[in-house]
Structure formats: C-alpha cells, structure tokens
C-alpha cells in the first residue's frame, strides 16, 4: 500500500505546486455580506477542491450509516453469544465436577471425538 500511496502523492503534489505557481493572479471573491476580498486564483481553486472533498466525505459517511449500524448490531450479538457460551461452559464444568470422579473426567468442551 505504501508504494501506491507515494506513486500517487508525489505526482499530485508536483501538479498542485505547478498549478499554484502558474496561477498567481488575484481574483475577487465576494461572499456577501461576509467576505469581499482579493485572493490568489490557486487558493480559490484549492478551497473549492477541499470543499468538494469534505462534502463527498460527508455524503459517503451518511451513506454508510446502515453498514455501521449493522456492524454494531452484529458486535452486540457476538458479545451476547460469547457471554452465553461462557455461562454454558461454566455450568458444564460444574456438572462434570458433581457427577464424575476426578480420575474419570470427561474430555474438555470442544475436544474432537473419534
């Protein structure tokens, strides 16, 4: 995964730096009534890209809520089943101790039978 990361990150960084150097002229940015200023063109474009990434990430997070909910439900079910398994194993150990002498103990739970 690391080589792919670097193979994408390094060229993208070079392209962004080249873009920033080539677009130094200032453009008016007006967000009435809050902002009225001049910013370099590359900042305006990068702010737009960052906004798009944030909106896309928010939409992906919202779309994944069903998967996260299902994962939490399955984790709760697994925890409940593990708790139940421990209780059954404890009862089985108690039953083994009460009915069998120590020298003729039953094989442990989960042992293979032949």
Higher confidence at residue 58 or residue 34?
Answer: 58
The percentage of the chain sitting over the pLDDT mark of 90, rounded to a whole number, equals 63
Per-residue pLDDT, averaged over 25-50, amounts to: 90
Higher confidence at residue 87 or residue 36?
Answer: 87
Question: Can you give the pTM of this predicted structure?
Answer: 0.58
Instruction: Name the one residue in this structure whose structure tokens are 């002498």.
Output: 101
- Enumerate the domain spans of the chain: 2-63, 67-97
Mean pLDDT of the chain: 88
**Alpha-carbon torsion 45, 51, 55, 57, what sign?**
positive
């Amino acid at each position: 995964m690391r080589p792919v990361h670097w193979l994408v990150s390094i060229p993208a960084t070079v392209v962004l730096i080249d873009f920033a150097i080539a677009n130094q002229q200032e453009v008016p940015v007006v967000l009435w009534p809050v902002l009225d200023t001049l910013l370099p063109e590359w900042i305006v474009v990068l702010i737009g890209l960052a906004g798009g990434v944030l909106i896309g990430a928010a939409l992906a997070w919202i779309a994944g809520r069903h998967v996260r909910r299902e994962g939490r439900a399955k984790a709760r079910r697994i925890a409940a089943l593990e708790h139940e398994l421990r209780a059954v194993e404890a009862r089985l150990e108690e039953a083994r101790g009460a009915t069998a002498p120590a020298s003729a103990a039953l094989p442990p739970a989960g042992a293979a039978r032949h």
